[in-house]
Structure 1
Amino acid sequence: MTGRTAGPRDIHKRHDLCGTSLRGKAFVFPFGRGSTGTPGIFLEAVRNGCAPGAIVNVKSEPMIVACALLAEAFFKVSIPIIDGLEKDPQELLRTGDRVRISGTTGIVEILSHA
C-alpha cells in the first residue's frame, strides 16, 4: 500500500522545541509518551540522519529502549540511552548545554552551560 496523507499534520506544536533539530544532540526528557509505533518513527529519523546522538531519561520505558536497539540492529547506529541518574537531568541540563555522554559507563558530563 502506498499513498500520501492529505490535510493537516498532527504535530505537537505546544512544545517550545517544536521544529528544532535533534540531529546528533543529547535528547533529554523524563520518559517516553508513545506506543509501539514509536520505534518506527525513530528509525525513520535514524535512516534520514536526523536522530539524536544520545537519549537521557529519568526513567526509560521499553519502547524508548527498543528505539536504540533497532537503530543498532538495522542501521548499525549506536545511540546510548542513559537513565536512573542520581539527579534529575532536567534540573541540571538546559537546551544548548554541551555534554559528553558515555553509554558504557552511564556518565553524563556537563562540559559547558549555554
Structure 2
Amino acid sequence: MSTTVKGRVVIGKGSGVITGTALVTTEPICFLGGVDVHTGNITEQGHPLYGACMKDTILVFPTGKGSTGGSYLIYDTIMNGNGPRCMLNLAVEQVTAIGCIMGEMPLIDQPEADITQLIHTGDPVSVDFDNGTITF
C-alpha cells in the first residue's frame, strides 16, 4: 500500500516524475560547511546524516540552515554530479531555493503531511512535479 501527499512545486514544474531512494532527516541541513561538494557526503559533525551521501537520492529534510554561501554550494554539488535527484522540504528557505534555482534542482515544499516523519531513509519515492505529488 502506498501513500500520496500533495505539496507545492517550487522548482521543476514540467520535470515529470522523478523516482529514487529517500535520504531523510528531521534536522535542517547546512550546505555551507555541512556538505562535501566533491562527494555529496554530509560532513556536519553531529548531524543525523553525518557520513551519508546525498548523490542520486530523493533528499527529504525540513529546511536548510546557514549562510547565503550555501546556495553556491548546493549549485556546486549539483554541477559536480553529486547532488540528489530532487529535494523535498517542509518549508524551503531562501538559501536552498536559490541554490536549487541556480542548479535547476526540482524542489517541492509545504507537503500536506510531515514527510520527514512518514518517509524513511531507504524508502522508494516517486515525485510527480507536474502534479505536485509525492508517493512512497
Q: TM-score, normalised by structure 1?
A: 0.77
Distance in 1, Cα, partners of 2:125 & 2:55? 14
Matched, 1:90 2:90: no
Which residue in 2 is equivalent to 1:17?
A: 49
The 2-side partners of 1:48 and 1:93 are apart by 27
For residues 54 and 47 of structure 1, the distance between their equivalents in structure 2, rounded to whole angstroms, comes to: 14
Q: Provide the residue aligned with 2:130 in structure 1.
A: 104
Matches for 1:12-91 after TM superposition, within 5 Å: 12-72=44-104, 79-91=105-117
Residue 110 of structure 2 aligns to a residue whose secondary structure is: coil
Which 4+ stretches in 1 moved above 2 angstroms?
none
5+ residue gaps, structure 2, are 1-32, 35-42
Q: Secondary structure at the match of 1:26?
A: strand
Residue 69 of structure 1 deviates from its aligned partner by 0.8
The letter of the residue matching 1:29 is F
In the superposition, the TM-score normalised over structure 2's length comes to 0.65
How many residues were matched structurally?
A: 96
Q: Percent identity?
A: 29
* Structure with the bigger percentage of strand: 2
Identify unmatched segments of 5+ residues in structure 1. Answer: 1-8, 73-78
Higher relative contact order (CA 8 A, sep 6+): 2
Please, what is the CA RMSD of the aligned residues?
Answer: 1.6
Give the match's secondary structure for 1:91: helix
